[in-house]
Amino acid sequence: MRSQRIVSLVFVAVCVFAPLVAVADLPVIYVDSTATGANDGSSWADAYVSLQDALAATSGEGELVEIRVAQGTYRPDESSRPPRGRPLMFLLPSGTVLRGGYAGLAAADADARDVSLYPTVLKPVEGDSVLPKYVIAARETGPGTTLDGVIVSEGDVGMEIVDANVVILNCGFEGNDEYGIFCWLHGSNISLSDCYFAHHAECAADVFSSQATFSNCLFEHNQGHLACAIESMGGTLVAVDCTFRANEGGVVYGFGTADLLRCEFVDNSIGGDEALDWSGTATVRQCRFESNTGGEIGAALRLSGDATVADCEFTGNAGSPKVRTSGNVATVTRCSFVGNTNEGGSSRLIESRAALTRISHCLFTGNSGGPFTSGTIQGIRIGATLEVSNCTFADNRAQSNAIGGYWENVSLTQCILQDVPNLFDDSLPYPENIAVTYSNIEGGYPGPGNIDVEPEFVRPGYWADPNDLDVEVGSDDPQAVWVMGDYHLQSQAGHWDRDAETWVFDDVTSPCIDAGDPNGFLGQEPFPNGGYVNMGAYGGTQEASRSYLGKPVCENQLAGDINGDCIVDQTDLDILLSHWLMDSTEVANIPPVIRIVSPIDGAELTYPDPIELRVETSDLDGYIWEVSYRLEASTDTGSEGYHVVGDSGFEDWKISLAWSKIHLDAPHTITATAVDNRGVETTSAPITVTFHP
């Protein structure tokens, strides 16, 4: 574990990690529609019966106050105070924490809280109105403003957000005629966690020129055209662990910067739109696209700008293509395309207009197309370059070639292609600029290191009778359905079994093991790896099948035993000399990705209590070497900053510390910077926190 390095003006608190919560001992106002006491909000017995009265009791000038609302339904026109005009909505004051889901006086323990068991429902004014009905709004609110544990429904717009900082937790937005959330004007910063959005006719969340973060949110049964779940026009969109299910129309749409992590798009009917349609810089990681249906021009992803798609699954989707890219550089890596169809159109899975497209460590199997055959990977931009490495193409149906279109330069290396009628479209304009090396191609193809042998997959998939999946019928049966197999390579030294999460020893060893470019990069192949990279989708990854060298796997690794045969000999020296003075930096480096997950944006913190800093990081082609945090505060004399380096010995580079000099009640900005193993840095989007005594 690397030692923790702290720069001056910072001291580490010697204590356990302190949870980040709102400032303790806030004044509390109680609301319960069944209360019969003094109705002054001082206790549950004397609670306000109207939420509007409770909101009016706050100063509205940034005072930190908590409003606890018991179960029941509340409308903005219900008030004991005669309004000067018909109140159109609830207005959330700056600094107010509004929490629903309390049992209230209807239970033995009024403070019991369960947002599902004791629902607090906010609805608009009753009756017809010539103006749009907004249920609740946050306007020009500062950090700490929070909406927690309520259901917002039946408005034209559920919640309006205007130039505001607001945190929304455990809330439901359902059945609003147009939008669940409508965020407009510039500069809003909204964070939503553990929320659900359902049954909206236009868009569940419409955000303009703002920073929006959605964590563990559910979007289902929403309708719309370009975007029925999230529309983000400018600014930054972050979605983590969100599920988009059974929506109709385009699901997520917008422009600016987007980062999606571990999201699921399932059973959406996208028509001629896309599950994700984004213009600008986009990163899509560890996401699953399954059983979505689209038209002949729809797609799972349409990314118009520099884009990275990594560790994603595209399974059982209907429509073409599955990924459409443009911009300068498009990277698709460690993705699987399995059992997708487009019976009425073409068979392309990736369609690119990018100047440079890199596709690596991807699996294409069990996909089928219609009468308009084309390449699995199709180039649309004249003069573009395609680089394909360590991919497996196997058992796809109605695909005339693996690569087609207008590519000017094509390189394909360390790939396995089986049951592919043609490697390239005959119409590629520059056949002299095609390079195919160290690949296993059924039917053969000229080039250094190319072979034509049985790849010995662990368990190939097959086309089956839809009425009996145990009956194999062949790919020429139009009614056949795809049964997925396992396309790891067999090895007597062991292949990785994802389900069992262990190494399984086979009776044979694939000839594609150690058959990659002798000077290629091993990446993260486990020991013993023979000193040479494998062909196919798992070559160069942690799931690469191990090299069998005629003896059991070594119990201990010797320094200098490069190939893993349990002895240091001439073979190891030959491998070393063949790589002598090679520079790994010759390969283009993908920058790391980093996002601050603790504290949350807009957090109100207690000084001098220690705070916990934690990030989520990834590096597609290496590993994170260092993470540093920086806190800055703007003062009358300028910007003051403090710096601390995280510790890789802790999960998520977590560190608990206290800064020695803080400006109380003033906003501070925290950023985190990740440095990968090749020295490339990425700085996170900033978050804002405020310290209070």
Is residue 479 packed enough to be buried (19+ CB in 10 Å), middle (13-18) or exposed (0-12)?
Answer: exposed
Residue 569, token pair as written in the block: 């000999």
pLDDT at 618: 79
Residue 412 CB neighbour total at 10 angstroms: 27
User: 91-105, 248-262, 649-663, 673-687 — which is least confidently predicted?
Assistant: 649-663
Are 503 and 511 a contacting pair, CB within 8 Å? no
Whole-model pTM?
0.83
Angle at 405 between CA 355 and CA 364, to 5 degrees: 90
pLDDT at 309: 95
pLDDT at 81: 67
Are 150 and 122 a contacting pair, CB within 8 Å? yes
pLDDT bin (cut points 50, 70, 90) of residue 626 is confident
Residue of 396, 261, 387 lying closest to 336 (CA atoms): 396
pLDDT bin (cut points 50, 70, 90) of residue 318 is confident
Q: Which helix (H) or strand (E) holds 53?
A: helix 51-56
Average pLDDT value for the chain: 85
Helices (H), 565-682: 570-578
pLDDT for residue 295 is more than 80: no
Residue 476, token pair as written in the block: 């020429």
- Over residues 587-609, the mean pLDDT reads 80
Residue 74, token pair as written in the block: 């509340």
Task: Look at the block and give the residue holding tokens 């001439």.
Answer: 570
Convert the pLDDT of each residue in 34-64 to its tens digit.
Answer: 999 999 999 999 999 999 999 998 865 657 8
Residue of 120, 193, 140, 146 lying closest to 23 (CA atoms): 146
Task: Look at the block and give the residue holding tokens 């020893």.
Answer: 505
Task: Look at the block and give the residue holding tokens 């931009």.
Answer: 381
- The SS3 assignment for 431 reads helix
Convert the pLDDT of each residue in 135-166 to its tens digit.
Answer: 999 999 988 899 999 999 999 999 999 999 99
Q: How far apart are CA 227 and CA 223, in angstroms?
A: 8
Give the CA diameter of the chain: 94
